Structure formats: C-alpha cells, structure tokens
Amino acid sequence: MNDKILGIIGGMGPEATVSFYSRIIKMTEVSKDQDHFRVVIDSNSKIPDRTDAILNNGPSPLPALIETAENVRKMGAVVAGIPCITAHYYMNELRKNTSLKVLSALEVLEDKIQKMYPHIKHIGVLATTGTVKSKLFNQQLNNHHILYPSDESQKKKVMEAIYGAEGIKNIGINKKSLNLLIAAGNELIEQGAELIIAGCTEIGVILNADHVNCPFLDPMDVLAEYMIND
C-alpha cells in the first residue's frame, strides 16, 4: 500500500508542477484509485523568479520557498520534491529551515547516472541561464565534463524557448519552443555530449528522448521515481 503522503513544492511554474504530479501518477503501480499516493501540492506561483534573483539581485525566493515547504509539511507530507531546477540553488538553506524531508533532483540525478551510465563522461545540459551561471550541475556532477550551449544559443534558443513571448512560461507547449530546444540539444551533441539533461522543468515538459540522438534524462522523472520509492 502506498500510504505515505508525498508533497510538491510547486508553482515554479504551474505547467512544470502539473507535469511533475502527472509523472508521479504514471509511475505509481496501481490497480485502482485508492492505490495511488496521497499528494499535497502548494502551487505557489508567487515565489519570486529564481533566475532574476541569481543573476540580477532580484527578490530572493527563499522565504517563499520555506513558507511553501512548511505548508506542505503541515498538510502531512513526509517527503517532498521541487519541480524547479533553478530553485535548487537554495536547497541547503531551505533544508536548514524546514523539518520536511526535501529530496534534491540533482542528488538523485547523480545517483541515477552512476547506475545507468557509469561510463559516460560528457554531459550536455539545457537549463536556464540562472542555473548555468550558478553551476549547479557542475557542482553536483563534478566527475563529469558539463557542456552548455554557446552564449548566443543560450539566449536565442534556450531562454527564448522558456521565457520568450512565445515561450513555454507564457503560452505553454508549442512547436517553436520545441524546435529551439532541439536545435540547442543538437549543438551540444556536436560538442561531444554523450547524454542530454533537461536541466529546467519547463524544458522537460516539452522535450523528451524522442527529440535527441543520444541518451536523455529528465531530472523530474528521476525525482518522481525516487520520491515514490523513498
């Protein structure tokens, strides 16, 4: 029986939160509704933008992250995940300020790579500029060579696909954003990437293994798996 209560510290953004919850549902083996986990979600879209905070000294999302984690804990969750990679910049401080067990998508991703792809050394990451500049993946996957798109492609392809006027955060899933991300992924493969990581939750909403010609991992898939089996 799946009796434990799972939590989602969400809202960053709402599409990514919905997608993450959907993954938990799809990965849970059930024969009836009652076999599913009880999941409590605080989709707090008012949490300040993480990239703006990291790059431009914008309002810190940490107080709102702590508040949201505490809301999830008070609703009964025993373990929670954050469907926002950039928010993991604040993971250590968040853990210091809540008794809720919060799994790190980056930590479980590292474990998954070690188990599934122990011989891979060059990893391509598609992520927000905030995540790139904070070097979250470099720090966690420090036994690998991490590749990112060129500065121009990061701005005109990756960030445009996420934040642009026709980007995922503004109008949701669309073909233009997908094509931009495919092009950026191909660029990483040309640089020598042996594995592509969807390093932003919005990217994982639209890009999948069918779109790249090498192994592909979405940290949100891995996080959902580890939350279920925790």
The two tokens of residue 73 are 């804990």
- Residue 84: active-site member: yes
- Residue 214: active-site member: no
**Set 16, 84, 85, 125: catalytic member:** 84
* Rounded CA separation 203/86 (Å): 12
**Set 132, 200, 207, 227: catalytic member:** 200
* Rounded CA separation 218/208 (Å): 8
Sheet bearing 5-10, strands edge to edge:
38-43, 5-10, 79-81, 101-102
Strand partners, 5: 38
Strand-strand pairing, 101-102 and 122-126 = unpaired
Burial class (CB in 10 A: 0-12, 13-18, 19+), 117: middle
Strand-strand pairing, 216-217 and 195-198 = parallel
Q: How many CB atoms lie within 10 A of CB 187?
A: 19
Residue numbers annotated as active site: 84, 200
